[in-house]
Amino acid sequence: MTTIAAKLQHVRARIATACQQAGRNVQDVTLLAVSKTFGPEAVRAAAAAGQRDFGENYIQEGVDKIAALADLRGQLRWHCIGPIQSNKTRLVAEQFDWAHGVDRLKTAERLSAQRPPGLPPLNLCLQVNIDGGPTKSGVAPAEALALALAVAALPGLRLRGLMTIPDPAPDFEAACAVHTSARALFDQLNAAGLGLDTLSMGMSDDLEAAVAAGSTMVRVGSAIFGTRAVKPSRQ
């Protein structure tokens, strides 16, 4: 077994234990493997071990990897989880299956308009600044409903849910508290009729707390692929 396969198995076991402790069905939590800074061979090894969803932060890096793994295109789902500048929306609309880092209507409108008609709508999660850091990206929780209603009306997109990147919490209870506030916002949007099915939250260090609070998609990088050396200079 490769190292990546063994680590994947360990992460799956962590998710299963967290689901069991929360009384949740393990099928209701999708594992998104965050492959940023790792090469196509690492993705290929994870895919060989049954992993299907992959997340990339840096759009050009992701596009290069998608091209290098073109033979697996029908089996894999590619998620753009980083911020999307205006000049990169076309690449995301044309190449990815999901985008999680959208926090403005303008970006969503460009993605919708640029989604090729031959492809299914781009799956979208709105990024919410759930813990209110002043320098952080993400829509403010109080503005999330209005943005979600506007985005849900765009034809090239399918609004699936919310995504959060809270600051690291000091302990399990604190991590649960911030994830629970995201879950409450998610439930509030669904009570308004939005029909969301995806709450993208939890990473290598806090996936148990995220699952306990109701995450449906955990984004895990270093626990699968190892420690990232440096972020690539290219965006």
C-alpha–C-alpha distance, residues 84 and 100, integer Å: 9
Instruction: Please spell the DSSP secondary structure of 124-138, one letter per residue.
Output: EEEEB-TT--TT--S
What are the residues whose beta carbons fall under 8 Å from the beta carbon of 49, sequence distance 6 or more? Answer: 2, 4, 5, 8, 9
Q: Does residue 33 interact with ligand PLP by CB under 6 A?
A: no
Instruction: Please count the residues of this chain forming the interface with ligand PLP, following the rule CB under 6 A.
Output: 13
Compute the chain's Rg from CA coordinates. Answer: 17
State in angstroms the smallest separation of the CB of 43 from ligand PLP.
Answer: 14
- CA triplet 17, 23, 27: central angle to 5 degrees? 70
Among 30, 180, 204, 226, binds ligand PLP (CB under 6 A): 204
Which span sits near ligand PLP by CB under 6 A: 22-30, 108-116, 132-140, 219-227?
Answer: 219-227
In the set 4, 11, 18, 34, which binds ligand PLP (CB under 6 A)? 34
CA distance 37 to 79: 15
124: nearest Cα among 198, 226, 44, 233: 198
- CA-to-CA dists, residue 170 to 47, 167, 177, 198, angstroms: 33, 10, 11, 26
Residues 42, 3 contacting (CB under 8 angstroms) = no
Stretch that binds ligand PLP, among 102-110, 117-125, 168-176, 216-224 (CB under 6 A): 216-224
Choice from 165, 175, 194, 209 touching ligand PLP (CB under 6 A): 165
Which residue sits closest to ligand PLP, CB atoms considered? 221
- The CB-of-132 to ligand PLP minimum distance in angstroms stands at 17
For ligand PLP, the closer of residues 110 and 219 by Cβ is 219
Compose the 78-117 pattern: x for residues touching ligand PLP by CB under 6 A, - for all others: ---x------------------------------------
> What residues make contact with ligand PLP under the rule CB under 6 A?
34, 36, 57, 81, 165, 203-205, 219-223
